[in-house]
A and B are shown apart, each in its own frame.
Chain A
């Protein structure tokens, strides 16, 4: 199985994932139906093979694979009595609404700050301080500070994805890895680009955590709580798993595999088809927007540079100038231009951190959303598979009725019952994931509108501020110009 993925390191992280997935009973149940080669199951047939292959390649977050339990501790398994899946699945609709309300008024602030470089050379890494302020009771203290490194965040995400994605939960993606960016930092370049890189990452990590805790199920997840509160965190072993690029790869493979399925999903619910189309379109649009705004940021930075150069040349002109009042006015002009350069720089940051990063975040979020739709397709496929298998078992039993092998007949009848159970489970799971997705998408769309509104307001505030500063500068300069005699 692992040959197909070609990286043995990946096996390790699966161990991590499964250890946490194994925590809940339902996961255990699903894993029993695994499609490993040792089972006599569907692997023999072609369409199932393809399906199995799909499962293989996306099994990073799927508990369906044969779990190889490692001895490595995942503290998340320690006796925490909250079983998030039970909570989430068995809620009544009323509770749903209440939790939605709570989502709007929830009181938790998270900040990621004080990046610090630890170590030297290529083994160096950045440590970030994560501060949580909250009055929610699931937290043990009002205010907690912990130190985390980037791979800890990736590790958290990979755990959450493995637990929740296949249930149809939209798990916010972790920030992207960047080899180039980090290498500069490691190598110790204290230049502007490494400083910007660290700031960009810090901001992204903060947004990631905020999005994660906004989700009521994720907020209560023991891994999340541990991440935010516990002073020691075991190192996430191999975090290639689920970076944004990783998820995209996974989603694409799943999509390809699903397309290869000869059994086409009969979509009984038009809502899913429409939504999927919408999200595909949105994906394309957001990417275009992101490119557009990056061009904006680039030009704004260029303007800042050119303004600084002009300021210098104006200062030199002022120095060459004999006429006192004119010389002073020109020097003032140079100062005004320097201040304007600063404004441009600030505005470029607003462009970037507000709009560009928002769009980038949503491009990655949409990928996670599409992943969840694909999970639903997989669930459907499994259910169909189970039905097919049940039919075969029934046919086999019918044949055995005319042979005189009582033990085999009994076994066949046992297997029929087993597969009847699996069919029912498959149907329940499919309906469950469908319900979850509807709810998740509804919430996602609400959050999306909120997010964008907040950004627009912040952006407008920055624009107003710049203009007011400009007015001050020009009003100060005017008398200087008029004083030239």
Chain B
């Protein structure tokens, strides 16, 4: 699967790719991307904007001399973030889901980072020049307007939907398409529901903050009785502040692990769906050509048969690439989800321990104070 124009594989280590910083200038986000050169201890740092990521993705889509390209499950690129909009929260949430949350675009950067790492780790895609130049060239590649990719996102036209449910000739693929349909739907829903949970946790934290502040306003030093009551109010205020921090932490844990994980899974399922759809379309094309060949008059027949052979060859290539991709995808997604689930559980466990300790201390302090 070596492209003739390809140099050796990527010159940096896939695991070392990091997005180290992001700056916002009005509408535009600029990302600082650092990576480690493979053959030396030197590091590279470049600055990129979303257009550059888009350019990279389009370049990958339109890579020449990669037979069976359509069988590849492309790492999904997150949508473009639009920072300064009037109805920021709601629009951003609709567009980016989990990636819109978190301080200073942290989740979004993490998702872009995953994207780059996955492209770099892909046995075929890592060899694309575009990736190397993206990661190394100080000049931003987005300035060169490359060709638009040969395929775009799945459109929702009725025509497409019909094609999507076209019966397959291969059981393996039929099963995979069915499973993918289910998983794509379930993971999307799970991501949305978790997002709702995180939003509510954040709202709860804010409400706690308000309550804690209001308690502070009850402080009154006029006489001994007022002082005693004020102390009690302040104590309650401290407790509620702790509850607020608790929920902020829980929400952030959810966001940075399970939230990101489900989001990634959901987008990857979509990507697989697109690949399977491309193959299905090829299948339909093949079947159409076959029918055409059968009906062809003798003089056209040879040409048609040659054409059919070509399409068949393409289809088989796509199918064989697809099979490998599917297997690779299955094993890697399980690993990824496992990592996220473990991370999530450990973070939440630590938070629970931390706050159990804090609440216990408060309780102990109250018991001592109030028994006097």
Contact = CB atoms under 8 A, between A and B. Distances in A.
Interface of A: 274, 278, 281-282, 285-286, 288-289, 292-293, 295-296, 299-300, 302-303, 306-307, 309-310, 312-314, 316-317, 319-323, 325-326, 329, 333, 355, 442, 445-446, 448-449, 452-453, 456-457, 459-461, 463-464, 467-468, 470-471, 474-475, 477-478, 481-482, 484
Given A292-B207, A306-B200, A456-B236, A471 B186 contact: no
A424 B341 CA distance: 82
B217 interface: yes
Interface in B161-205: 179, 182-183, 185-187, 189-190, 192-194, 196-197, 200-201, 203-204
B352 interface: yes
A299 B232 contact: no
Nearest to B201: A303
Interface in B59-106: none
B297 interface: no
Given A482-B342, A484-B338, A310 B194 contact: yes
A470 B235 CA distance: 24
B334 interface: yes
A431 B330 CA distance: 87
Contacts of A299: 200, 203-204, 207
A274 B345 contact: no
A316 B190 contact: yes
A467 B366 contact: no
Nearest to B196: A306
Contact of A453 (B194, B225, B366): B366
B146 to A, nearest CB: 37
B295 interface: no
B239 A289 contact: no
Given A303-B197, A461-B363, A470 B352 contact: yes
A417 B50 CA distance: 99
A464 B363 contact: yes
Interface stretch (B2-10, B29-37, B107-115, B208-216): B208-216
Contacts of B366: 453, 456-457, 460
A226 to B, nearest CB: 34
Nearest to B343: A481
Given A456-B366, A464-B359, A288 B214 contact: yes
Contacts of B201: 303
Given A313-B190, A481-B345, A320 B183 contact: yes
How many interface residues does chain B have, given as a range? 35 or more
A310 B193 contact: yes
A314 B194 CA distance: 9
A63 to B, nearest CB: 31
13 contacts: A278-B222, A288-B214, A306-B197, A316-B190, A322-B330, A446-B225, A456-B235, A457-B370, A464-B363, A471-B349, A471-B353, A474-B352, A481-B342
Given A288-B214, A326-B337, A474-B349, A310 B190 contact: yes
A309 B345 contact: no
A302 to B, nearest CB: 5
B360 interface: yes
Interface string B336-356: 011001101110110011011
B105 to A, nearest CB: 25
Contacts of B183: 317, 320-321
B196 A484 contact: no
Contact of B214 (A281, A289, A300, A317): A289
Given A478-B346, A484-B338, A302 B200 contact: yes
Contacts of A474: 345, 348-349, 352
A464 B330 contact: no
Nearest to A286: B218
Contacts of B360: 464
Going nearest first, the 9 A-B pairs with the smallest beta carbon separation are A467-B356, A445-B225, A474-B349, A310-B193, A470-B352, A484-B338, A481-B341, A320-B182, A460-B363
A172 B197 CA distance: 41
B341 A303 contact: no
Nearest to A316: B186
A452 to B, nearest CB: 4
B239 A295 contact: no
A288 B342 CA distance: 42
Contacts of A295: 207, 210-211
B353 A484 contact: no
B222 A285 contact: no
B207 A471 contact: no
Contact of A333 (B226, B236, B330, B341): B341
B233 A452 contact: yes
Contacts of B239: 456, 459-460, 463
B229 A293 contact: no
A446 B352 CA distance: 36
A316 B232 contact: no
